[in-house]
């Protein structure tokens, strides 16, 4: 087993262990992938001020996200097909997050169902909702999340239509994998993954198959999903969902100040500055470039979080410095999951926490709440403003 010291080590190990179509699904963006790359690279435009001869004892990275105490300002993002990175992937990731003391978010498009995760965790997890045309199904899905005592509903607004992801199209992505010669040859090189999948009954979309009308198996799922994402989704639907849910509501997919104001007006508890990991509109700015203007505009009215490109604890600290009171990680935890299962997710969180803690200390702070944009070298705003235009 190689020595794991940073998230990139887990990424390389996941690439070797996860079938190509599922690794590519996690590690790719839409069209030219320019926004996908910018999400990660733009953090490097922000340089840190190192301080010395300050007391670094008694440090704490603890905070709260929508009232939930967290070990650090990080939650696990909702990611589709997580259970195809590793057998029972959503369950394992939720358990790792619970043990570490951060929130876990389950995707509508998960392999393990809401009920699967609820039966194998104790702490309330969050549920992410895609709005489908079949409103009866959405109502039942919300009710299932209530019954599973989910602590918050995360409503994703930026998937009314699907961005074109070239790698998925070329790989013929499906769950389970299509038995093409290319895919079968690739699966033959992943014995660990195959054995794990043979040992679990969870190889479908647990929240949908058997619950949506006319979807009894995977063969009928493809046609259903192709026509169910709702291009007519509006802020009136957000009001309806908020009433139906009745609990904490988080809105994901905000990249524009005007939309941020509408999100705050909706009465949601938090919004997430997010471009869907660069998987929707290619050519949009990075999430970190969009964050400051949104935090300045609505940060006093609603909790502002962000996701996209976070690969280190330094990235978490930089996002906090620019106004994000929470961050979400998607690919970083998926690399850990694909590499080493639950242990890999735990290792990801340990790495991020240590990097966050040490960087905060080097910048002269012992409490996260004292960190602001003063930890960054002057000129950060001009650099990010240029990237966001």
Residues contributing to the annotated binding site for glyoxylate: 25, 165, 276, 279
Q: Which helix (H) or strand (E) holds 321?
A: helix 313-321
- Where in the chain does DSSP place strands (E)? 63-65, 68-70, 74-76, 105-106, 126-129, 152-156, 249-254, 270-273, 303-307, 327-329
3-state secondary structure string across 77-99: CCCCCHHHCCCCHHHHHHHHHHH
Residue 40 and residue 315: Cα distance in Å, rounded? 9
Radius of gyration of the chain (CA): 20
- Cβ contacts of 125 within 8 Å, gap of 6 or more: 94, 97, 98, 103, 104, 105, 106, 117, 118, 150, 151
Catalytic-labelled residue, pool 6, 86, 211, 276: 276
Q: Which of 354, 333, 335 is nearest to 95 (CA)?
A: 333
User: In a 10 Å sphere around its CB, with 0-12 CB exposed, 13-18 middle and 19+ buried, how is residue 222 labelled?
Assistant: exposed
Q: Which helix (H) or strand (E) holds 147?
A: helix 135-147
Residue 125 and residue 257: Cα distance in Å, rounded? 29
Q: Which of 174, 282, 281, 161 is nearest to 226 (CA)?
A: 161
Residue 305 and residue 294: Cα distance in Å, rounded? 10
Active site includes 166? Answer: no
DSSP 149-198: T-SEEEEE-S-SSPPP-HHHHHHT--SSPP--HHHHHHHTT-HHHHHHHH
Residue 353 and residue 72: Cα distance in Å, rounded? 7
273 within 8 A of 287, measured Cβ to Cβ: yes
Residue 389 and residue 382: Cα distance in Å, rounded? 11
Q: Which of 376, 261, 250 is nearest to 320 (CA)?
A: 376
> Which sequence positions are flagged as catalytic?
276
């Amino acid at each position: 087993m190689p020595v794991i010291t940073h998230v990139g080590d887990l990424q390389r190990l996941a690439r070797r262990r996860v079938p190509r179509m599922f690794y590519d699904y996690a590690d790719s963006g839409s069209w030219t992938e320019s926004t996908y790359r910018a999400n990660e690279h733009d953090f490097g435009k922000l340089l840190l001020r190192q301080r010395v001869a300050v007391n670094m004892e008694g440090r704490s990275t603890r905070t709260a996200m929508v009232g939930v105490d967290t070990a650090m300002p990080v939650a696990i993002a909702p990611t589709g097909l997580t259970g195809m990175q590793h057998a029972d992937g959503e369950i394992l990731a939720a358990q790792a997050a619970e043990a570490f003391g951060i929130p876990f978010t389950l995707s509508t498009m998960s392999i393990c169902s809401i009920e699967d995760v609820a039966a194998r965790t104790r702490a309330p997890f969050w549920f992410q909702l895609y709005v489908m045309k079949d409103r009866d199904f959405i109502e039942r899905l919300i009710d299932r999340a209530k019954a599973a005592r989910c602590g918050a509903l995360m409503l994703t607004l930026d998937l009314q239509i699907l961005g074109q992801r070239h790698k998925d199209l070329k790989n013929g992505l499906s769950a389970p994998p299509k038995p093409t010669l290319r895919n079968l040859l690739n699966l033959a090189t992943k014995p660990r993954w195959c054995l794990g999948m043979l040992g679990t009954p969870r190889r479908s979309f647990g929240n949908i198959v058997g619950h949506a009308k006319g979807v009894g198996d995977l063969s009928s799922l493809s046609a259903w999903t192709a026509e169910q994402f709702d291009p007519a989704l509006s802020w009136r639907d957000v009001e309806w969902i908020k009433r139906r849910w009745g609990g904490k509501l988080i809105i994901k997919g905000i990249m524009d100040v005007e939309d941020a104001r509408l999100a705050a007006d909706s009465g949601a508890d938090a919004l997430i500055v997010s471009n869907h990991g660069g998987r929707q509109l290619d050519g949009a700015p990075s999430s970190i470039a969009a964050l400051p203007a949104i935090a300045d505009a609505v940060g006093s009215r609603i909790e502002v979080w962000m996701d996209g490109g976070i690969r280190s604890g330094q990235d978490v600290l930089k996002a906090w410095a620019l106004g994000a009171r929470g961050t979400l990680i998607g690919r970083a935890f998926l690399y850990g999951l694909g590499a080493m299962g639950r242990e890999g997710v735990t290792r990801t969180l340990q790495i991020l926490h240590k990097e966050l803690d040490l960087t905060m200390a080097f910048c002269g702070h012992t409490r996260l709440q004292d960190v602001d944009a003063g930890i960054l070298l002057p000129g950060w705003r001009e650099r990010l403003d240029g990237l966001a235009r």
